[in-house]
Amino acid sequence: MKPFLTSRASDRALGLTLAGTALLLSAAGPAVAQQADDSSSMIEEIVVTAQKRNENMQSTPIAISAFTGDAIARKGLSDIQQVSRLAPNVSFDFTAPVSGASNAASVFIRGIGQQDFALTTDPGVGTYVDGVYVSRSVGGVLDVLDIERMEILRGPQGTLFGRNTIGGAISIISKMPDKEFGGSLEASLGNYGRRYLRGSVSLPLGPDTGVRISISSKDKNGFVKSAYTPQQKPLLGGTPLTDLGNENRQAARMVLTHAFSDRLSATLSGDYSRLRENNAGDRLAGITGTLADGPLVFAYNTFGSTPSVIPVIGNDRYTTANYYTGTDRTYATGPNGSSIDAWGTALTLDFKASEQLSIKSITAYRKTTGSFNRDADGSPLVITETSNYGYRHQQFTQELQAVGDLVDGAVKYAAGLFYFDEKGSDPLIVRLPEVVGTIYQDVAEVRNKSYAAYAQATWMIVDGLSLTGGGRYTKDKKRFLSDQYIVTGSASPFLFGGAPAGTLIPLVPRNSVASQSFEKFSPRLSVDYRMGNVLLYGSYSKGFKSGGFNLRYVAPRPSILSFAPENATTFEVGTKIDAFDRKVRLNLAAFTTDYKGIQVTVFENLGAPVTLNAGDARIKGVEAEFTAIPLPGLELSANLGYLDSHYTAIRANPALVSTPEQILSLSTRLPKSPEWQGTLSGSYTYTLESDAKLDARADFHFSSRYANDALNSRFLNQGAYQTLGLSAGYAAPDKRWSLRLFVDNVTDERYIVSGDSNYGIGFHEANYNRPREWGATLGFNF
């Protein structure tokens, strides 16, 4: 389906009209308002569970940003990426480089994260849904579907959250059933064919039992047009190519609660997500098709090019002049589609053993299946087309927690045991130029297990002064089975040392098996002092990210290539201040992190993405979060993040210097680590004489320049940019219905969020953010 407006000029005009409407509502507010909204005269208190117990966020000695579901709704936010912009030093993108899928998240906190979605690599930021660890970005929970609260914890969380939280953790808490019948329904329409629908209903089934059901559907057209679209023939699975960057995803969730007694209760939840989309909006950024900076493209242009299939192009040599199309167009005609199904279930048992001790059991299972097809070269030629045609992943987790207090409440503690078991498979076909050949990865199976025990205690030494200490012991066991080979093409004698065309060359010995074990102790120590509404704290913490194996190869290797764990040690000081009867809030944090064994993904040889340990770095930073309500109904907020990240040591590896431009040095910047980034927000709410409410909101986000890949490719480096979002809303007196108008990216700012810079093959592709979007959201409560 085409966007509502096909003219970019018309789109701009209507978008600015909506922006003007939002501003007019804001300006007209005092004239039509009976009074400012007195209910918004204080900053809300948020209860968080960052330390496995319910605590006021302002009393928790951790750098944490938390947002309630109601606050997220008031801000008009619909996914985690939008919410993450309200926290300093956080980067969240829906598309990880290499994947092409639009549901493989790339998350960075304080310059630490993960860019490759492969089953053999782990995230640097852990994602948790109702206490359940979601280990893989593919099929992860990316929609803010009926949530009670979202917490973003910055810095290593190894003690209480465990492995692969070296940069931080994102914790999502779902809404539980209400004691009374009720629900909501929300529909959103806008340009690019936006059709969003979500709803939830809470059903009491008795005095001790309740159920809550939530559904969501998102449908939106893509924004990257195909400049040349012959008949589409996907490799295996996927959908025919239309516009890239579209949305077509549905989700459902059910939560059932039952109280067996005053001491024992159970929560059973289940969720399902379905995604059928074209790929993210990648487009060609450049070509370096020389023998040194792109041997695969050099081979095609030398041995395989013919008269062009595009009439205006005289030949089909793979060059920038022939196939570069700009920001929102592509010549890609190969398979470009993602098909993902994910579901999970969890059972939580809460037992109050005594007034001083609570025990919790969380048992969970998740499964994801999918296929992802990708034309990576941005042309109608067969330079690189990939098909992950049978992605499969399943995980089982079991956690036991004991939370309590001793010595008349002077000592509070949390302890637990954790077990994790996952297995998965990711077979792959890579079509290269016919003169080169085709890669087959018939087997790519992982089986990983993790065991952990942890404990943390906080001792109130004197009134206001507390000392916290804890640690976690983790042992990981990993196993990888691979069968990968290439069937060579006509240029084989040139590329593969004399082997004739049609030769089957194993890239690792057939059915290779590799296994490794990793173990680590992750301590945490902190001291905090509270004076009224002021909290001062200092902390020391360590975290680690597990090692693993490389999934993909192009050049033959004698065995499966592995990489070692990452480790981070962080010292942090901070303060949290509430002042003027909670009309002003200021949270500050300063930290320094020694980051060792950094895992990076680079392209070597003929273009295979390889993960290796690049070296060590030091990351220093400052974070500030400010909120003020100078007048009833008027809220001003800002967050600011500063990062100084640089390598301190580089480990020798040929893959880091394999081409003239592919060099990692001490001056290389860590990816997704802008020196400055932040968001300024303002909102005003008026209560009319009828008790209806009008509100207007503006969000201004800015970022300094940053690199999008480990080697700082000139094709992917992003300069400084700013974006602006505006919205205005009306809520009926009885809160039965509401209407919100919005414009995202008002100035139509475009910037690179991810991409591949593949000097091994010779192509470079970039994925930009979405253009300006506008729409209206109508909501009903019952």
Residue for token pair 């290796």: 612
Q: Which run of H or E residues covers position 32? A: helix 8-32
* CA 433 – CA 90 distance, rounded (Å): 39
* CA 203 – CA 59 distance, rounded (Å): 34
* CA 15 – CA 191 distance, rounded (Å): 9
Residue 335 and residue 374 in contact, taking contact as beta carbons nearer than 8 Å: yes
* CA 329 – CA 236 distance, rounded (Å): 25
Q: What are phi and psi of 302, to 5 degrees?
A: -85, -40
Residue 134 placed within a domain: yes
DSSP 3-state of 124:
coil
Residue type (1 letter), 461: I
The half-sphere exposure of 486 on its side-chain side, counting CA atoms within 13 A, is 29
Residue type (1 letter), 602: V
Residue 339 and residue 333 in contact, taking contact as beta carbons nearer than 8 Å: no
Strands 264-278 and 337-354: antiparallel
Please tell me what DSSP assigns to residue 307: B
Q: Which two tokens stand for residue 730?
A: 């009306």
Q: What is the pLDDT of residue 310?
A: 55
Q: What is the pLDDT of residue 7?
A: 41
Tens digit of each residue's pLDDT (9 = 90 or more) over 118-161: 899 999 999 999 999 999 878 765 566 789 999 999 999 989 99
**Burial (Cβ within 10 Å: 0-12, 13-18, ≥19) of residue 260:** exposed
* CA 342 – CA 391 distance, rounded (Å): 11
Q: What are phi and psi of 661, to 5 degrees?
A: -100, -10
Please tell me what DSSP assigns to residue 57: G
Residues belonging to the chain: 782
Residue for token pair 């409410």: 693
User: What angle is formed at CA 550 by the lines to CA 419 and CA 645, rounded to 5 degrees?
Assistant: 85
The torsion angle over the Cα atoms of residues 513, 554, 279 and 164, rounded to 10 degrees, is 40
* CA 152 – CA 182 distance, rounded (Å): 29
Q: What are phi and psi of 672, to 5 degrees?
A: 55, 40
Q: Which 3-state string (H, E, C) describes 688-742?
A: CCCCCEEEEEEEEEEECCECCCCCCCCCCCECCEEEEEEEEEEECCCCCEEEEEE
Residues of the chain predicted below pLDDT 70: 1-40, 95-103, 140-144, 227-242, 307-314, 492-495, 605-606, 654-662
Please tell me what DSSP assigns to residue 38: G
* CA 568 – CA 159 distance, rounded (Å): 13
Residue 178 and residue 209 in contact, taking contact as beta carbons nearer than 8 Å: no
642 to 96, 274, 589: CA distances (angstroms): 24, 38, 10
* CA 641 – CA 702 distance, rounded (Å): 10
Please tell me what DSSP assigns to residue 492: H
Range of the domain at 435: 8-781
Residue for token pair 């989700």: 251
* CA 673 – CA 660 distance, rounded (Å): 24
Specify the CATH number for the domain of residue 102: 2.40.170.20
Residue 3 placed within a domain: no
Q: What is the pLDDT of residue 242?
A: 61
* CA 671 – CA 657 distance, rounded (Å): 18
Number of domains comprising the chain: 1
Q: Number of helices and strands (H, E) in the chain?
A: 6, 44
Q: What is the pLDDT of residue 9?
A: 43
DSSP string across 321-373: HHH---TTEE---S--EEEEEEEEEEEEEEEEEETTEEEEEEEEEEEEEEEEE
Residue for token pair 């290539």: 561
Q: Which run of H or E residues covers position 299? A: helix 295-303
Please tell me what DSSP assigns to residue 447: E
Residue 601 placed within a domain: yes
Residue 1 placed within a domain: no
Residue 2 placed within a domain: no
Q: Which run of H or E residues covers position 72? A: helix 69-74
Residue 375 and residue 333 in contact, taking contact as beta carbons nearer than 8 Å: yes
Alpha helices, H only, 89-136: none
Q: Which two tokens stand for residue 642?
A: 């500063």
C-alpha closest to that of 323 among 20, 768, 764: 764
Residue 63 placed within a domain: yes
* CA 647 – CA 420 distance, rounded (Å): 33
User: What angle is formed at CA 136 by the lines to CA 134 and CA 138, rounded to 5 degrees?
Assistant: 120
DSSP 3-state of 26:
helix
Residue 515 placed within a domain: yes
The half-sphere exposure of 219 on its side-chain side, counting CA atoms within 13 A, is 9
**Burial (Cβ within 10 Å: 0-12, 13-18, ≥19) of residue 355:** exposed
The torsion angle over the Cα atoms of residues 21, 23, 26 and 32, rounded to 10 degrees, is -40
pTM of the model: 0.90
**Cα 695 to chain centroid, rounded:** 30
Residue for token pair 């809160």: 735
Q: What is the pLDDT of residue 606?
A: 64
* CA 671 – CA 436 distance, rounded (Å): 32
C-alpha closest to that of 166 among 131, 137, 123: 123
Residue 492 and residue 485 in contact, taking contact as beta carbons nearer than 8 Å: no
